[in-house]
Amino acid sequence: MNRILLLEDEDIIRKQIMRLLERNNYEVVGAANLEEALSHYPESFDLILADIRLPGPDGNQILNYSEQVPVIMMTSYASVRSAVESMKLGAADYISKPFDHDELLMTIARSLRENRLSAQNAAMRRDLNRLYPQTEVESLSPTMQKSIEGIKNLSADDQFVYLQGERGTGKELLSRLCHENSERNRGPLVFADLPMYQTAEIEGLLFGAQKDDRRPGSGLLQAAHGGTLVVRSISVLSLDQQLALATQLLEAKSRRRPPNVRLIVLAIDPPPVAVKENLLHTTLADLFGDNIFPSLPLRERRDDIAPLTAQYLRLFVKRYRKRRIVLSTDSAHALQAYQWPGNINELKSVIERAVLMVDSEEIKPVHLGINVIDGKASHTGLDLSLDAYFRYFVLNFEDRLSETELASKLGISRKALWERRQKMDLPRRV
């Protein structure tokens, strides 16, 4: 139940509003002046409804104590000036007396909803910063920094971008940077993970249901209106579907109609190769022009291994509340020698596993699960095989982690985790 602090000096009006709100399932605390309101700890409420004209300090003063709580100002002196002043001071909304009961209830519901969405967005941004810390970007080699600078320097935010590279090389990180460094950063960032869906579902997922030519669809394309749509594995779309996507984006841009979307494609093959192999429609390929940015495999930019390792080591030592842990010289050499078929994602998983397994202050090659023979590396493991480690990790952490968290820690999808559980006869213990 949402709690509301009502700041109103006239007893009759305060009691009427309190009864109205209580009938609509709000918990209400009333106060006749600012001092009384402060005694109830305004920051502990979900919303504050305050009259501007009060004996003593004005109701606007409550804004100095409300922190993240939305405040709706009430006044009998309805004027544009008082509304503007309240909003400038940080009020979430404004309503003038006498007001209709339904109008007040709608205003309260809207402010609560907007504040909840704002809090959710802030939490999501914090979580993204945790998953994709800025230091990870700063740690990258000059080769990757060149791609990052090229993305940041794109002259127009409506230019489409093609990010090409092997799986796990950081294409998603680059797409997020592309969005965050554009004027669209306040708009939605929508990911279309096409490989996760059945072929029959993809068209509806992307375009949604369109009842006529004048009504936009309800799919991911429309959900990204005003922001960025990131499409992973565009080749999953048929050539006809790719043409339909390109046509809709071009028509929307030329006619200034929704959806106003910037398209970013994450792909393994560069456009010329994809077109030649009938994986990419020429019309869609033409939309990217010269905005093609490579994300090189980790084996071709070994300068990134050391700084990324240091970054991940700090991250997981802090996350799992471990004591000080360092990397041995032999371990550093093993990391440099390994070919990294899984690229950055695999490096991150290897370091996380090592932090979990190590029982001393030094990570040795045995903790990495990679083996170096005659200067070459393979993931055969010195201590545990991949299957053995999978079984060890699942059995030891499934009682404290959800399936989604387990899959994330192992660097695989939830579906892959389920399939591997079935294959290894390792059902989740209740």
Containing 245, the helix (H) or strand (E) segment is helix 239-255
pLDDT at position 134? 55
pLDDT at position 110? 93
Written as one letter, the residue type at 338 is Y
Claim: this prediction has a pTM higher than 0.75 = no
Confirm whether 414 is domain-assigned: yes
- Do 117 and 156 fall into the same domain? no
Confirm whether 129 is domain-assigned: no
Query: What single string gives the DSSP state of each residue in 319-370?
Result: HTT----EE-HHHHHHHHHS--TTHHHHHHHHHHHHHHH--SSEE-HHHHT-
Q: Who contacts 338 (Cβ-Cβ below 8 Å, separation ≥6)?
A: 370, 372, 377, 379
Looking at 100, 123, 146, the residue that finishes a domain is: 123
- Do 339 and 392 fall into the same domain? yes
- Band of pLDDT at residue 130, cut at 50, 70 and 90: low
- Do 280 and 392 fall into the same domain? no
347's tokens: 């490096």
- Do 65 and 138 fall into the same domain? no
Burial 145-171 (b: 16+ CB within 10 A, else e): eebbebbeebeeeebbbbbbbbbbbbb
> What is the span of the domain harbouring residue 413?
300-423
Looking at 251, 275, 296, the residue that finishes a domain is: 296
pLDDT above 90: percentage of residues in the chain: 35
Return d(Cα 247, Cα 263) in angstroms, integer.
13
Confirm whether 73 is domain-assigned: yes
CATH classification of the domain holding 327 = 1.10.8.60
Q: Is 81 helix (H, G, I), strand (E, B) or coil?
A: helix
- Do 345 and 249 fall into the same domain? no
- Do 76 and 165 fall into the same domain? no
Number of domains forming the structure of the chain = 3
- Do 102 and 216 fall into the same domain? no
Confirm whether 430 is domain-assigned: no
Of 1-15, 91-105, 213-227, 324-338, where does mean pLDDT reach its minimum?
213-227
List pLDDT tens digits, range 392-403: 678 777 887 888
Confirm whether 384 is domain-assigned: yes
- Do 342 and 212 fall into the same domain? no
User: For 29-57, what is the mean pLDDT?
Assistant: 92
* CA-based nearest residue to 281, from 234, 230, 249: 234
Is the predicted pLDDT of residue 347 greater than 90, yes or no?
yes
Residues counted in the chain = 430
**3-state class percentages of the chain: helix first, strand second, coil last, to nearest 5:** 50, 15, 35
Looking at 76, 103, 123, the residue that finishes a domain is: 123
User: For 362-380, what is the mean pLDDT?
Assistant: 66
List pLDDT tens digits, range 21-40: 999 999 999 999 999 999 99
Confirm whether 429 is domain-assigned: no
- Do 150 and 285 fall into the same domain? yes
- Do 291 and 304 fall into the same domain? no
- Do 281 and 313 fall into the same domain? no
- Do 288 and 309 fall into the same domain? no
* CA-based nearest residue to 242, from 270, 271, 283, 273: 283
